[in-house]
Structure 1
Amino acid sequence: MSETSKPTQQPQPVAKPKRSVNTTLIWQLVILVVLLGSWEVMSGRLFDSFWVSKPSLIVSYIYNWVLNGDFMRHLTATMTEIIVGYSLGAGLGLALGLPIGRMERTAKILDPFLLALNGIPRVALAPLFVIWFGIGITPKIVLVFTLVFFVVFYNSYAGVRSVERRYVDLAWVMGARSFRLFSKVILPAAMPYIILGLKLSIPYAVIGAIIGEFIASSEGLGYKIQLETSIYNTTGTMGGIIVLMILVVLLNSILAWIERRALAWRPPSRSSDAGGQGL
């Protein structure tokens, strides 16, 4: 009489308990508190607070600026310059970088001209933009556009060029043509480069807007910072700088949210798991 063989049960993987608290955020907050606390304690003791002010004074200045001043007018002016210039620069950078990345001969022809244009310091062009477009919002938008365009263009171009040829050939053999080949193979593979270019260009957009406001403007955060500096109000200057820092972090967080959804198809990185296990 033969024994009936019982099916062996595969051991189920033990689910890791979810962390109720984000340790990364905790460490970031701890570092921020330590830095601000050290600044507050040392200012007026180890060095004169006239030069760097104090966090408490800066927070009070921003609070009063928001409630009683013209904070929204300056913020709106700078945000308009950043958003419009960034959108135009990123849009044209993608519109040219993606197709040129697929056209090797065209890329070789245009390469020296693009390098020459990219090599021009855009800050040096800012006074010319003021002469050409006046002292309104237009020269700031153009300056932001020129700074953002090349970052997004070259990242998009590099992303398309990085797609392995065998994947393109395989999709071609399977019947993918033109738009389908681009949307299903090339664009997803180039997306990490594109997102990186969009993220890297955010600080450049802010720099372009602020430099334009430094040169010729009657409103904006850059104008406000320059005004406070001219009257030796360190607290006001630092307040404007802190607002710009917060603005960059918020814009980068928006792009990070877009990145998580645009690249949701990618498997999670093992490096993050290893880091969490202390390896």
Structure 2
Amino acid sequence: MVAATDRPVRKKTEVAVATRRRSERWQGPVTLVVLRLAVVAVALLLWQVLSGPVLPEYAVSKPTEVAQALVKLLGSAAGWIDIRATVIEVAAGFSIGVVLGAVIGLLLGSFPVAGRVLEPLVAAFNGIPKIALAPLFLLFFGIGIWSKITIAVIGPAFVMFYNIYLGLRLRERELMEIVQVMGGRKHHLLTYVTIPTLAAPFFAALKTGGPLAILGVIGAEFIASTEGLGHGLFTAAMNLDAATEFAGLIVLVIMTLTLNGFLSWLDKLALRRLGLLTRRRPAEERP
């Protein structure tokens, strides 16, 4: 009787295990890459077929023409000058913004009175559309590189400030008191409480601030510049050159993916060194 009762249960378990294995096989990294490439290929094919008969070719061009424009862009000295200018502006603005936001967040988070006084002012300044500040920075710094860098600083700085500021406020007070009762000093609080608490918000701010820096630079280059990818996109739009426009957008996408990939690698490296990667993994592996 027991064996007969266990037989259906065992069969259901085997079916469930087989179903889970098939699901995991479809969710493997190689399969996901193949599926993503298939989606891109289908989208490009539809774009090629619909451009002209359905969509206006002057507005969307064709993938073949975009590929030719991309080769021309990457094969010209002017194209690489624009790419280099944008990369320098994004890298400088992003780095300065991260440091500035982290320092202000640490200061206001460490001194509660200063935080309560200045945080509303920071929030008010953050409410101003960043692109609206571009003409003001152009008046101060001209159309050169520093006006673009200044715009690129704002986005990452605010994101980093709020993540660090709120992270400090959310530190577990009970854990801090336990460390202090056990004889821990300030450097022990920093090592065992503050850094583990701020690690995740810090790298989340990095990943969020990168695209904001790129957005700020491109917007500023649209308004007034003599070089940069934004300048090239604006020129292509004025000339109704959709192929060159899409080629510039592809370069921007590659730049964004490269920056995000580097920050993800840096995130995992730092968390592994801090011993926090194993804590995060179960949450990331949830379906």
TM-score normalised by L of structure 1? 0.86
230-239 vs 44-53, greater mean Cα deviation: 44-53
| Bigger proportion of residues as helix | 2
Query: What runs of 5+ residues in structure 2 fail to find an aligned partner?
Result: 1-20
Does 1:238 pair with 2:250? no
**Correspondence for 1:36:** 44
Q: Hey, what's the Cα distance between the residues in 1 that align with 2:33 and 2:158? A: 33
The Cα of 1:106 is off from its aligned counterpart by 1.7
Is 2:278 aligned against 1:270? Answer: no
Partners of 2:42 and 2:185 lie apart in 1 by 57
Q: Is the alpha carbon distance of 1:176 and 1:30 closer, same or farther for their aligned partners in structure 2, counting shifts above 3 Å?
A: farther
Root-mean-square deviation (Å)? 2.0
Structure 1 residue 253: Cα displacement = 0.7
Equivalents in 1 of 2:204, 2:182: separation in Å? 30
Mapping of residues 221-236 of structure 1, within 5 Å: 221-236=229-244
1:62 aligns to 2:70 (yes or no): yes
1:160 and 1:27 map into 2 onto residues whose CA distance is 42
Secondary structure in 1 aligned to 2:128? Answer: coil
Give the whole-Å Cα distance in 2 for the aligned partners of 1:34 and 1:187: 46
What is the percent sequence identity of the aligned residues?
Answer: 34
- How far residue 79 of structure 1 moved from its aligned partner, in angstroms, is 0.7
CA distance in 2, matches of 1:135, 1:35: 38
Structure 2 distance, partners of 1:64, 1:244, is 16
CA displacement, residues 64-109 of structure 1 (integer Å, 9 cap, x when unaligned): 2211342210011001110111100101111121242232222111
Deviating runs (4+, > 4 A) in structure 1?
Answer: 18-21, 271-274
Structure 1 residue 206 corresponds to structure 2 residue 206: no
- Residues in 1 aligned to 2:31 and 2:267: alpha-carbon distance in whole angstroms: 22
- Residues 1:171 and 2:179 are matched in the alignment: yes
The secondary structure found in structure 2 opposite 1:217 is coil
How far apart are 1:158 and its partner, in Å?
1.6
1:103 and 1:25, CA in 2 relative to 1: closer, same or farther beyond 3 A? farther
Q: Which residue of 1 is the match for residue 261 of structure 2?
A: 253
- State the AA in 2 paired with 1:232: L
Note closer, same or farther for the CA distance 1:115–1:21 as it changes in structure 2 (3 Å cut). Answer: closer
Instruction: Spell out the pairing of 1:102-251 with structure 2 (5 A cutoff).
Output: 102-251=110-259
SS at match of 1:22: helix
Q: 2:179–2:188: 8 Å Cα contact kept in structure 1?
A: no
1:95 partner SS: helix
Match of 2:12 in 1: none
What is the number of equivalent residue pairs in this alignment? 259
* TM-fit CA distance, 1:118: 1.0
* 8 Å CA contact retained: 1:143, 1:209: yes
Q: How many Å separate the matches in 1 of 2:77 and 2:237?
A: 17
* 8 Å Cα contact 1:151-1:200 kept in structure 2: yes
Q: Displacement, 1:38? A: 2.0
> Could you state the TM-score of these two structures normalised by the residue count of structure 2?
0.84
Where 1:111 maps in the other structure, the secondary structure is: helix
Separation in structure 1 between the aligned mates of residue 285 and residue 209 of structure 2, nearest angstrom: 29
Taking structure 1 as reference, are residues 41 and 175 closer, same or farther at Cα in structure 2, changes over 3 Å only?
farther
Instruction: Say whether the 8 Å CA contact 1:82–1:141 is kept in structure 2.
Output: yes
Cross-structure match for 1:5: none
Of 235-244 and 215-224, more deviation after overlay is shown by 235-244
Alignment deviations for residues 14-71 of structure 1 (CA, whole Å, 9 cap, x no partner):
xx9x988533333322222222222222212321221111222111111122113422
**Which secondary structure state, in structure 1, belongs to the residue aligned with residue 143 of structure 2?**
coil
1:98 is aligned with what amino acid? L
Q: Distance in 2 between the 1:186 and 1:53 partners?
A: 52
Q: Give how far 1:142 is off.
A: 0.6
State whether residues 207 and 263 of structure 2, in contact with CA within 8 Å, keep that contact through their aligned partners in structure 1.
Answer: yes
| Structure 1 residues without counterparts, runs of 5 or longer | 1-15
